[in-house]
Amino acid sequence: MIWKKIATLILKNRLTILFIVLVLSTFMGFEASKVRLTYNAGKILPVTDSAYIHYMHFRKLFGEDATAMVLGVKSPNLFRKDFFNDWYLLGHNIGKIKGISGVVSLANIYKLQKDTAQHRFVLKPLITHTLATQQAVDSVRQQVYNMPFYKGLILSGDKQSSLMAISLDTKILNTPQRDKVIAAILAQIKPFEARQNITVHVSGQPYIRTVVSKLVSNEFVLFLGLSLGITAVILLLFFRSFYPVIFPVIVVVFGVIWSLGLLVLKGYNITLLTGIIPPLIVIIGIPNSIFLLNKYYHEFALTGDKMASLHTVIEKVGITTFIANITTAIGFGVLCFTNSQILTEFGLIASVSIMLTFVLTLILIPIIFSYLPAPGKSQSGIKDGKVMKALLLKVNYLVHHQRKLIYGGVMVLLLISGYGLSLINVNSYIVDDLPKKSSTLTDLKFFEYNFKGVLPLDVSIDTKRKNGLMNLAMIHKLERLENLISSYPEFSRSISLTQVLKYSTQAFYGGDSSYYRLPDDMEQNFILGYAANSGKSNNMLHNYLDSTKQITRVSFQMVDVGSKKLNVIFDGLRPRIDSIFNPEKYHVELTGSSVIFVKGANYMVKNLYQSLGLAIILIALVMWILFRGVRMIAISILPNLIPLIFTAGIMGYLGIALKPSTILIFSIAMGISSDQTIYFLTRYRNELRTTGKSISQIVADTIAETGISMIYIATILFFGFGVFAASTFGGTVALGILLSVTLLVAMICNLTLLPAFLLSAEKFIDKRKSRDTDTQAQDI
């Protein structure tokens, strides 16, 4: 009754509703024009997580930990005069770019010196201009070799590779200004490469994030264009007419505009995930139009009354498509319960946008077609040729006469997939989604090989008392901790308070490298006194002590070895760290953006499992409301769980790791594939209630009628999600291909296994009736 009233309301107030939709769409379009890319990594962990809280406190004390962009070169001529001077000028020119807070390299190095007048240490640049002679460069080389503090940091162990660290101003780090600064740096690099005939490797988290942002921006436009183009072509093949192509495409474009407007209104930016929402809206929204138009052409062919046909379309198809969109929205909406900002944004915008697009389709398609000419005789809905009819007849035969073959095939598939499922690897990399041939990934490997990576790892040590760090016993504990962590091949040597103190001891003795060590009992009062007096003038010390000298940081660089291996390493480190720093007296925390990534990946995988479970429960609840009975829930859910197991098996066999970007597939696929179950069972239930046909005949009729739409919609979904294979991000490619395969298998299951279950249920019911009749006869 309610859908009948909705149909009447829409068709009687066409102009008013159309005007309201156009006004709202104009507003949403204006808001959508303000959409911006994100310039930070996004919050993966919830803000209430203890690791996140500690990381934010760490940043408050010591500032951002991922502000450095690094340049690297490999050459035997590092200290040849022309190369050295050119490297100096490159660093000098980069340092003058607005937004750069500091540059350190072989040619822009700082030396720690003793100021006896002020009883403190000061940092001074080793050179302040280009050097005129090779002899002067050789002198600098000897001084650099005599500074163990920089060993392994700006000069590799084999002395063939050098690194330039460029610190970006934190004020521009997560703003659009970062792109301009990095572009200016890259512009300075190109002439240097040409002059020296050498490759400069570029990396660091600010640079990697900029590369990713640009790729997201490019793919945003690419995928939207591809999804619109592919769906338009498929619609043309389906309907062989202009109107059923152009207007559904226009309607989903409205849906895209509304989704982007909603993104802006919520204060969100385009991320790697939210960037794929517009093509998702196109792919998921088009099937709504297909069902509406197919029903419209079918009804018009029966009645010849355009308005009555459109009224019937809204009344009869509206409820089915509404429930189908609800289950799809559930697949995305459950991501909101992860408490992960990046997933919550994606899940919320996607689920609401799906429902808004459904509403726009339900309103606009009937209104638009009410003003268009009546369909001609050649227009009879989706074109179902002889091949399609023959295919559906074959499906019908299998369902009615070869159910054992279907069940046997499913069991074999589950056994094979189950073994593949056991092979799945749970693992994430910080630069996981970049293509294997990306220069960014190649450059990262250069730094990992020569400098043990550029990804930051910090250890925070809280002594729990003021000035708790200013004694040698504590300093030696720190040194043991650093030696422990540096002994792992995945981590670089440390930069820390102890290294600064070793450098300070060397500076106290006039720069003699043999004194690069911790001060002894006799020296500690002098050297610690000098260090304490240095304050902010000794930026090296200030960076590793808080103002109360209670908390210190130890910084490392690390190789991107993946979350699986890092979890093992961190778990192994914990008891070894506790053996140095008693947890009852000290608080030691592994932190930094890299640790937050690993913990975030663990959190997301764990919560996405829960999201999938929640999606299954909610969809089962929808099925129960629609069809009632435990048996019908099982019949409707099982055909959609099997494709998920199949996909998981494929991932295991192909070595596709389970990670945040790939585990999304399962809850999304569960929501979308359930649509076809609803289309089939809704038609089946309606026939069961309104006709006196047998279940067998109703199943045959449903396969013949609904099967066409199911196959064509699966075709749109398959090729629609297939466009993501054009992505440069590995996770997006996997998401698209695996979703395509999952939904294709789901269509096959819903077209064969689902009706087979219904017929088996009929057989079971008939046997029970026969048994009851025999029992009654015996009683008589």
Q: State the pLDDT at residue 42.
A: 62
569 pLDDT exceeds 50?
yes
Amino acid at 76: P
Q: State the pLDDT at residue 190.
A: 93
Residue 29 falls inside a structural domain: yes
When pLDDT is cut at 50, 70 and 90, the band that residue 17 belongs to is very high
Q: Which residues pair with 123 in a beta bridge?
A: 112
Task: Please tell me the distance from the alpha carbon of residue 640 to that of residue 675, in angstroms, as a whole number.
Answer: 10
46 pLDDT exceeds 80?
no
Same domain, 375 and 389: no
Structural domain count, the chain: 3
Same domain, 181 and 294: no
pLDDT per position as a tens digit, 312-369? 999 888 888 898 899 889 988 888 887 778 888 889 999 999 999 999 999 999 999 9
Same domain, 290 and 174: no
Same domain, 637 and 741: yes
Q: How much is the average pLDDT of 738-756?
A: 90
Residue 460 falls inside a structural domain: no
Task: Please tell me the distance from the alpha carbon of residue 335 to that of residue 343, in angstroms, as a whole number.
Answer: 6
248 pLDDT exceeds 70?
yes
Sheet strand arrangement including 455-462? 495-496, 551-558, 455-462, 587-591
When pLDDT is cut at 50, 70 and 90, the band that residue 692 belongs to is confident
Residue 440 falls inside a structural domain: no
Residue 171 falls inside a structural domain: yes
pLDDT per position as a tens digit, 483-522? 999 999 999 888 888 888 888 888 888 888 889 998 887 7
Q: Tell me which residue of 339, 332, 225, 244 sits closest to 286, measured CA to CA.
A: 244
Same domain, 264 and 372: yes
Same domain, 277 and 377: yes
* CATH code for position 690: 1.20.1640.10
Q: Tell me which residue of 680, 670, 720 sits closest to 329, measured CA to CA.
A: 670
Task: Please tell me the distance from the alpha carbon of residue 437 to that of residue 698, in angstroms, as a whole number.
Answer: 54
56 pLDDT exceeds 90?
no
Contact 556, 140 (CB under 8 A): no
pLDDT per position as a tens digit, 445-461? 898 888 888 888 899 99
pLDDT per position as a tens digit, 98-125? 989 889 998 888 888 887 877 778 888 8
Same domain, 167 and 227: no
Q: State the pLDDT at residue 773.
A: 40
Contact 221, 212 (CB under 8 A): no
Q: State the pLDDT at residue 729.
A: 77
Residue 446 falls inside a structural domain: no
Residue 480 falls inside a structural domain: no
Per the structure, the complete domain to which residue 231 belongs is given by 1-38+213-381
Same domain, 113 and 188: yes
Same domain, 270 and 397: no
Range in 114-128, 139-153, 520-534, 720-734 with the lowest mean pLDDT = 520-534
Question: Higher-confidence residue: 776 or 492?
Answer: 492
pLDDT per position as a tens digit, 182-201? 999 999 999 999 999 999 99
Task: Please tell me the distance from the alpha carbon of residue 559 to that of residue 490, in angstroms, as a whole number.
Answer: 5
303 pLDDT exceeds 90?
no
Q: How much is the average pLDDT of 694-700?
A: 87
Q: Which residues pair with 553 in a beta bridge?
A: 460
Two tokens, residue 16: 């008013």
